[in-house]
A and B are shown apart, each in its own frame.
Chain A
Amino acid sequence: MLLLLEQLLNGLQYGVMLFLLAAGLTLIFGIMGVINLAHGSLYMIGAYAAAVVAGRTGSFALSALAALAAAALAGIVIELVVVRRLYAREHLDQVLATYGLILFLNELMVVWQGRTPLFMKAPPWLSGTVELIPGIPYPTYRLAIIVVGALVAVGLFWLIARTRLGMLIRAGATHREIVGAMGVDIRRLYTLVFGLGALLCGLAGLMAAPIFAVQVGMGEQILIATFVVVVIGGLGSVRGALAGALLVGLTDTLARAFLPSLLRSALPATIADALGAGLASVSIYLLMALVLVWRPRGLLPE
């Protein structure tokens, strides 16, 4: 029971990180109609910036700043130089061009920091544990991720539903030409949205740096999970991204934690372990397939 609670929190924490990426990806798709494979690379850039600055200065505040700034800046440059030219193109072109960006950015990190993974420590004030419920110590850092992620989610919904920028974002998604005709600088709006998505990636990267090894390839790993989230939630829908992210985060974490032992109660140990590990690593894809059979356009399509 205690283990279940702990794993639920872990799943929530993974889900929150997935949401930060999925929200940006789905917004960018919903508004600009662009599928950006390099989205995961922005997350990687954020994580690298955080780890490197933390290693040099030891200051968490500075590394947080570096992660956000690096990812947002990289995002804006990418939008201005490459992605902007892809808005009117087919999805195939978008996939290939941003695939080229992945190759480039990954290798850039190798040139900069080499192939050995970097590790980053959580700041001292976040590195202890908290007893949420008496008897269950839970790492403060992971809890902080959940809290920050929840705050960002609330902020994002507020931004989209209640602010002028959000109004433009919603209008831009459905009536692009009219928004332009009303005198709004659509190109700047697009750059802004892309930068916002990149900023969220940077935040996710910063959160991930003290938990996972910071290495080349981390971006694609989470990108593919993010795709699953977005497909489950419904492309272009931020609410769907939230639902999908939590569902995927929980499914993945719980399957990895409990499937092997559940199977072991029914099957011989060796078979159960092999099958359990296999099933656990594909659980989110099975979930996606199920959702697709049931609702091909996702759970909460726009």
Chain B
Amino acid sequence: MSAADSPATSSGVRLRRALAMGVVLLLLALLPPLANLLGQPFLVTLFTRFLIYAIAAVSLDLIIGFGGMVSFGHAAWFGLGGYAVAIAALHAQDGTAFLGMPGTNEALVAWPLAMLVAAVVALPVGALSLRTTGIHFIMITLAFAQMIFWLFVSVKVYGGDDGLAMARRNAFPGLDLRDAATFYWLCLALLAGWTAFVRRLVGSRFGLVLQGIRQSERRMVALGYPVFRYKLAAFVIAAAGAALAGALWANSARFVSPDMMSWQKSGELMVMVILGGIGTLYGPIVGAAALLGLEHVLAQYTEHWMLFLGPLLVLVVLFARRGLWGALGGRR
């Protein structure tokens, strides 16, 4: 059970934490005008990327940190969400149908659709993968993600290896997503909304059962809980979250490619979660910022920045298990 939800947490601590959260949100919301003021408008794009990855990382933390399911295939859902949006846009553009359904460029249709598609695919994949645990689960989720990766590499109609470009960003009623700042704020709102949702979920009865399963699956089975269904539900919800991030990514880059679901992306998402702190929800957001920031900074000095990122990762795993969130004084 997370400390933040325990009755022991005094209202004062809670208030302070809510205040800190509010300040961070405010600062993030003020970024676009600040970036313009500083004459660094590219920062908005960089931070948009960070917000999008953070959504995927938070959803991965739901299953790793709270469900104890170490998925090495989370990027598959990220990519699937992106492709769903890009393919829908492609069909809307040339007026053709996909399996009898028309395409769409409406964000309010395409984005939920992306989440739905990922959830529908994640259901059988999760059901099969959850027949196993531990190391098997890690390898099997990786293998399924590879399978989806290769499927998209071989589907030439949708670009295959080369990926698929989107002519323009989705249409969102009342907002002009072509404007970088507007898109940024929308991503920020979605990250805040998604994190709040996962937080509620984790604190709910469902979340408590899930955490109980992570601690001792046998105990929960003995208590009569349908353990498999709880784990599968969490797996599917996490997939939908990653798909939302993928849909946003497709809009941000106006391009999707199988790279979005490569095993390296899955690895990156796991790194964000562990770098920030497993099972903390806010930690993975910090982790996403730290990893992308680090990449950005290292890349300015050397083309071979992975030479430094790799060993750094090893050091973090070996010596800083609590993650950045723990180091910042945050608690689970």
Chain A residues packing against B (C-beta within 8 Å): 29, 35, 82, 85-86, 89, 91-93, 95-97, 99-108, 110-111, 220, 224, 227-228, 230-231, 235, 274, 277-278, 281-282, 285-286, 288-289, 292-293, 296-297
Contacts and interface: CB of A to CB of B under 8 A. Distances in A.
Interface in B58-75: 64, 70, 72
Interface stretch (B130-138, B187-195, B218-226): B130-138
- Ordered nearest first, which 6 A-B pairs have the shortest CB separation? A104-B310, A100-B313, A103-B310, A285-B147, A278-B154, A107-B306
A91 B274 contact: no
A102 B310 contact: yes
Contacts of A293: 128, 131
Contact of B150 (A86, A99, A282): A282
B143 A227 contact: yes
Q: Which of A86, A106, A220, A224 has the most CB of B within 10 A?
A: A224
B310 A95 contact: no
17 contacts: A35-B139, A93-B274, A95-B72, A97-B317, A100-B312, A101-B310, A101-B314, A102-B310, A104-B310, A224-B142, A224-B143, A227-B139, A228-B139, A231-B140, A285-B150, A288-B143, A293-B131
B202 interface: no
B160 to A, nearest CB: 9
B310 A100 contact: yes
Interface string B146-157: 110011011111
Q: Which of B132, B134, B136, B263 has the most CB of A within 10 A?
A: B136
B146 A224 contact: yes
A29 B274 CA distance: 22
Nearest to B306: A107
Given A100-B317, A110-B304, A111-B307, A292 B270 contact: no
A282 B128 contact: no
Interface string B290-311: 0000000000000010110111
Contact of A227 (B128, B142, B270, B312): B142
B332 interface: no
B91 interface: no
A106 B306 contact: yes
A99 B313 contact: yes
Contacts of A278: 150-151, 154-155
A282 B151 CA distance: 7
A250 B151 CA distance: 20
A292 B304 contact: no
Contacts of B156: 274
Nearest to B278: A92
B308 to A, nearest CB: 9
Q: How large is the interface on B (under 10, 10 to 19, 20 to 34, 35 or more residues)?
A: 35 or more
Contacts of B140: 231, 288, 292
Interface of B: 64, 70, 72, 128, 131-132, 134-136, 138-140, 142-144, 146-147, 150-151, 153-157, 263, 267, 270-271, 274, 278, 304, 306-307, 309-314, 317-318, 321
A92 B306 contact: no
Contacts of B150: 278, 281-282, 285
Contacts of A29: 135
Contacts of B263: 220, 224
B128 A292 contact: yes
Given A99-B271, A104-B311, A107-B306, A93 B147 contact: no
A97 B128 contact: no
B248 to A, nearest CB: 25
Contacts of B317: 89, 93, 96-97, 100
B314 A100 contact: yes
Given A104-B307, A111-B304, A231-B139, 12 more contacts: A92-B274, A93-B321, A95-B72, A96-B271, A96-B274, A96-B313, A100-B317, A227-B139, A278-B150, A282-B150, A292-B140, A293-B128
Contacts of A100: 309-314, 317
Contact of A96 (B131, B132, B270): B270
A49 B155 CA distance: 36
Contact of A285 (B144, B155, B318): B144
Nearest to B133: A296
Q: Which of A85, A100, A107 has the most CB of B within 10 A?
A: A100
A281 B143 CA distance: 12
B321 A82 contact: no
A104 B134 CA distance: 26
Contacts of A288: 140, 143
A285 to B, nearest CB: 4
A82 B135 contact: no
B278 to A, nearest CB: 7
A289 B124 CA distance: 10
Contact of A108 (B131, B153, B274, B307): B307
B135 A99 contact: no
B311 A92 contact: no
Nearest to A33: B135
